[in-house]
Amino acid sequence: MEELIDKSINLRFLNLPQLNELKRLIDDEHLNDILKQKLSGRGERDDDLEYKYDIIIENQRGMKFFGIPLFSKNSLLPFDPSNYQLINGKNLKLINNSINNYPLPDLNWVWHWKTWYILMINDVDDQGWIYSRFYFNSHHWKGKYYFGNFIRRRIWVRLRTRQVELKEDSD
């Protein structure tokens, strides 16, 4: 089985608590073996399938006003990253700005999970958001909103799979 996540994580995302924890979990050999067993539990042989996680970061800017969150993708400034980003730092432009329109790499891949899931590990609020002051390059992300926090982001994860073509020996 190939690597489950893209190892080309942009350095500025390494300060996000969820990605550090996810990377630690994926790199743990014992947990990785358990994950492989769970993923191959659909009846197919594990050797025949390749699995890959797609990870997307959602960004918003705004503030809370009398406890009401007023964050939006429309509040992002020109120097901010786009509403959606890949973990390698590339900005995503999606049709209708919907994460459900994220394309598979080619026609051989299919979604193993029917929907996107928010990564709810480490210090996040009840909707998966982490908050910081002004700049998305910040090293100080917290799962609780404090007065003066004007940006937030959360991480979406979805698993895809494809049939691996086995190479036959041609004697």
Q: pLDDT digit string (tens) for 73-125? A: 988 889 988 899 988 888 888 888 889 999 998 898 999 889 999 988 878 88
pLDDT given for residue 145 in this prediction: 82
CA distances from 129 to 47, 62, 123 (A): 36, 13, 9
The three-class DSSP label of residue 32 is: helix
What tokens does 103 get? 């394309």
| 29 pLDDT more than 70 | no
**Per-domain boundaries in the chain:** 11-163
